[in-house]
Structures are given as C-alpha cells and as structure tokens.
Amino acid sequence: MKNNDYWFKRRRYGYGWFPVSWQGWTVFGVYLLLVIAGALMIMDVSPEDEAREVAFYLLFVAVLTVCLITITMKKAPKAKWRWGKSDSDNPDEDY
C-alpha cells in the first residue's frame, strides 16, 4: 500500500492508530454514531427486557468494534508498541 493511502497512522504513545484522513475520520465518526445510537435505543426498555437488551447492545458494540479494527488494519501501517518519538519513526506511518 502506498503511504499516502493510509487512513490511519500509528499513535505516538501506546498501541493502536489515529485517523489522519477524511476517510479515517468518517469511519471513526460512523462507529461513534452507531455506538451512541444503540445506547439511546436501549434507554427506554422495560425492566424485564433490560438484561436481554443490554446483552444485545454489547454484542452490537463488539461487532462494530471488530469491523472498525478490520478496516483500520487494512488502511493503516502495522501496529506496534510506541512510547514517544524515535529516530526510526516514518512520518508517513507514525503520528
């Protein structure tokens, strides 16, 4: 993959990625909107349905998270643990 095709770059601290293009921000924004929309949908359930609805919501969030990670792994450099800036950082891959 060409470096300018990355939607996400590696974070400077820790493990993971950070969105750096409009496509990356869109993917992340849609993820957040769906998580919030799912939470709003289960706010008004009856007490007897609460456990089932919460379990469904957690499954929903897990599926969304797997989708987010899959997209990120395809549109970002390989993740690695980082703790600050180093001389080996590639500005096209590391944030």
Q: Is residue 4 part of a domain?
A: no
Q: Is residue 59 part of a domain?
A: yes
**Which residue range forms the structural domain that includes residue 71?**
22-76
Q: Is residue 92 part of a domain?
A: no
Sign of CA dihedral 70, 81, 62, 25: negative
- For residue 82, the model assigns a pLDDT of 73
Q: Is residue 6 part of a domain?
A: no
Q: What is the mean pLDDT of residues 14-29?
A: 90
Task: Give the chain's domain count.
Answer: 1
pLDDT tens-digit map of 57-87: 999 999 999 999 999 999 988 877 877 777 6
> Does the pLDDT at position 23 exceed 90?
yes
Q: Is residue 81 part of a domain?
A: no
Nearest residue to 95 (alpha-carbon basis) of 7, 32, 28, 22: 7
> Does the pLDDT at position 25 exceed 90?
yes
Q: Is residue 50 part of a domain?
A: yes
Q: Is residue 85 part of a domain?
A: no
Q: Confirm whether pTM is higher than 0.85.
A: no
Q: Is residue 94 part of a domain?
A: no
- For residue 22, the model assigns a pLDDT of 93
